């Protein structure tokens, strides 16, 4: 509880520091919204010009970017400072964290309040509200619980992927560029039913880079397309659990990598 109180106090101070410059604070939120304009355009075109995609109704497809964006917004808000950690490693700032009486991972997450996450979440909540409104599904307590679990699982899976990149950056600081490549892939393919892509690409985004577990599989299970994904139904249904397991494994990898960190110059 003491660690939680300290983390909360630091977060409040970081937030108040951001509010010292109100115009910049609002601009950061606006940038977060504008950064997701491609998702907004995709949703608008999908709903106004197409009846569906890949055998999915447009209302079902909309649940994919809504789930992905909500998971991404929560990731940026709570765990997103691992993205771009390579820059701090190259500057030698990670070495300072090592001598402080607080876990390095926690220090990284508390170094700044991610104001742009508020913009991401604004878009995500709007998309999710639109997806739920247009959906013809009966949103029972079980479906809602599963959707919440999927959003949290997607957040943890994205955090696991960027934590793995951060682990690589501890040994090879230039690996920070892998994070940009990963971000591009998530943004490019994360909003579509993967069955519209060539089968080898879909297999890579399922078993190589597990993007499918962030939003595609959860949306497929919820909308009744779970048997048409090309993967076993039980695997698609376990997406939230796989996200949690991936994050737990990534944290173990982080601990091991940090113990073997020898400094920016090796």
The pLDDT mean for the chain works out to 89
Residue whose pair of structure tokens reads 């899976």 in the numeric block: 157
Helices 239-259 and 141-171: crossing angle in degrees, nearest 10, is: 20
Quote the pLDDT of residue 47.
62
Quote the pLDDT of residue 12.
92
99-134 pLDDT, tens digit per residue, is: 888 999 999 999 889 998 898 898 899 989 988 998
Quote the pLDDT of residue 153.
97
165-186 pLDDT, tens digit per residue, is: 999 988 887 788 888 889 888 8
Quote the pLDDT of residue 246.
97
Asked if residues 38 and 187 have their Cβ atoms less than 8 Å apart, the reply is yes
State both tokens at 206: 């399922």
Write the secondary structure of the chain as one string of H (helix), E (strand) and C (coil): CHHHHHHHHHHHHHHHHHHCCHHHHHHHHHHHHHHCHHHHHHHHHHHHHCCEECCEEHHHHHHHHHHHHHHHHHHHHHCHHHCCHHHHHHCCHHHHHHCCCCCHHHHHHCCCCCCHHHHHHHHHHHHHHHHHHHCCCCCCHHHHHHHHHHHHHHHHHHHHHHHHHHHHHHHCHHHHHHHHHHHHHHHHHCCCCHHHCCHHHHHHHHHHCCHHHCCHHHHHHHHCCHHHCCCCHHHHHCHHHHHHHHHHHHHHHHHHHHHCCCCCCC
Confidence class for position 264, pLDDT limits 50, 70, 90: low
Residue whose pair of structure tokens reads 């796989």 in the numeric block: 242
Q: Facing residues of 57 across strands?
A: 52
53-90 pLDDT, tens digit per residue, is: 878 888 888 899 999 999 999 999 999 988 878 888 88
pLDDT at 145 over 80: yes
């Amino acid at each position: 509880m003491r660690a939680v109180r300290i983390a909360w106090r630091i977060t409040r101070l970081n937030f108040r520091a951001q509010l010292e410059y109100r115009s910049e604070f609002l601009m950061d939120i606006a940038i977060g919204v504008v950064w997701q304009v491609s998702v907004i355009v995709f949703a608008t075109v999908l709903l106004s010009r197409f009846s569906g995609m890949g055998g999915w109704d447009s209302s079902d497809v909309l649940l994919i970017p809504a789930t992905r964006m909500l998971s991404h917004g929560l990731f940026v808000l709570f765990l997103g400072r691992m993205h771009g950690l390579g820059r701090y490693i190259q500057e030698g700032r990670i070495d300072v964290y090592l001598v402080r009486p607080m876990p390095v991972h926690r220090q990284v997450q508390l170094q700044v309040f991610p104001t742009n996450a508020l913009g991401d979440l604004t878009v995500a909540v709007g998309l999710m509200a639109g997806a739920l409104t247009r959906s013809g599904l009966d949103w029972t307590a079980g479906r809602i619980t599963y959707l919440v679990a999927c959003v949290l699982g997607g957040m943890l899976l994205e955090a696991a992927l960027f934590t793995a990149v951060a682990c690589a950056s501890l040994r090879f600081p230039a690996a920070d560029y892998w994070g940009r490549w990963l971000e591009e892939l998530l943004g490019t393919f994360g909003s579509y039913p993967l069955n519209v892509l060539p089968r080898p690409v879909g297999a890579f985004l399922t078993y190589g880079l597990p993007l499918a577990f962030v939003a595609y599989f959860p949306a497929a299970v919820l909308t009744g397309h779970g048997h048409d994904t090309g993967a076993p139904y039980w695997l698609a249904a376990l997406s939230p659990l796989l996200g949690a397991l991936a994050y737990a494994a990534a944290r173990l990898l982080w601990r091991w990598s940090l113990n073997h960190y020898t400094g920016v110059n090796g």
